[in-house]
Amino acid sequence: AAGVIQSPRHLIKEKRETATLKCYPIPRHDTVYWYQQGPGQDPQFLISFYEKMQSDKGSIPDRFSAQQFSDYHSELNMSSLELGDSALYFCASSPGTGSSTDTQYFGPGTRLTVL
Amino acid sequence: AQSVTQLGSHVSVSEGALVLLRCNYSSSVPPYLFWYVQYPNQGLQLLLKYTSAATLVKGINGFEAEFKKSETSFHLTKPSAHMSDAAEYFCAVTLFMDTGRRALTFGSGTRLQVQP
């Protein structure tokens, strides 16, 4: 079965640079979530999209922005990178049927290292 | 607001022994609870979920969890540990947002070690 695809899997950037992470949800899933997992920490919700519109925001810094495109893939744009942005970034997708029991399926993550 | 607390950041068991990973939740509405497993350098894989149907939920790899409302718990168990079960386990609860959409809020995770 198709899974959530994230690219790149690993990314190394310098401080103050920008980074773009991509997420391709499971086909026919119209809701995408982004999470950030710092070293030794649990995943923290950043932002979500439903039907190409921003749905909810969690603890996403103002330096970050994201969008969902017409083909439902999503991109997380990160500017003015800081050392503390080094983390594993997960994308998850769900069917978005409106059911409270919708399961979120996670991608393998993008490991961002800021030097 | 919804939250989960995982008791014990590290659990070590012998191969073949019972696995018990503890999770307690707090929710002002009926919760939807999940257990995810994360192997080293990999993403989160769903083990099982509770969605207000049966209180005893069976998942993949022989894991199961029981929802106990009176104890606000959703502990994960497996009768006999295998070396391949060594991983980080996260309990999560649906976080209901103002828009009516949902995110997940996770516990701090429990690292399971399996000794030969």
What is the model's pLDDT at position A103? 84
Query: A103 and B49 in contact by Cβ < 8 A?
Result: yes
**What is residue B83's three-state secondary structure?**
helix
Condensed to tens digits (0 to 9), the pLDDT of residues A46-95 reads: 999 988 888 888 889 999 999 999 999 999 999 999 999 999 999 999 88
What is the model's pLDDT at position A99? 56
Q: Judge whether A93 and B46 are in contact, CB under 8 Å.
A: no
The type of residue at B22 is R
CB pairs under 8 A between A and B: 64
Across the range B83-106, mean pLDDT stands at: 86
Enumerate residues 82 to 101 of chain B having a beta carbon within 8 A of any beta carbon in chain A: 90, 94-99, 101
What is the model's pLDDT at position A101? 60
pLDDT-based confidence at residue A18 (cuts at 50, 70, 90):
very high
pLDDT of A113 strictly over 70:
yes
Q: What's the Cα-to-Cα distance from B70 to each of A46, B16, B74, B96, rounded to whole Å? A: 32, 30, 11, 22
Cα gap A92→A31, rounded to integer Å: 8
What is the model's pLDDT at position A84? 95
What is the model's pLDDT at position B75? 97
Q: Does B105 touch chain A (CB under 8 A)?
A: yes
Which residues pair with residue A75 across a beta bridge?
A: A22, A67
Residues of A in contact with B101 (CB under 8 A): 31, 48, 50, 55-56
Query: A105 and B32 in contact by Cβ < 8 A?
Result: no
Query: A56 and B109 in contact by Cβ < 8 A?
Result: no
| Average pLDDT over all residues of chain B | 91
Q: Are strands A110-114 and A10-13 parallel, antiparallel or unpaired?
A: parallel
Q: Which residue of B has its CA nearest to A42?
A: B108
Condensed to tens digits (0 to 9), the pLDDT of residues B38-55 reads: 998 788 999 999 987 788
Q: Judge whether B57 and B74 are in contact, CB under 8 Å.
A: no
Sheet of strand A64-68: strand arrangement: A5-7, A19-24, A74-78, A64-68
pLDDT of B79 strictly over 70:
yes
**What is residue A79's three-state secondary structure?**
coil
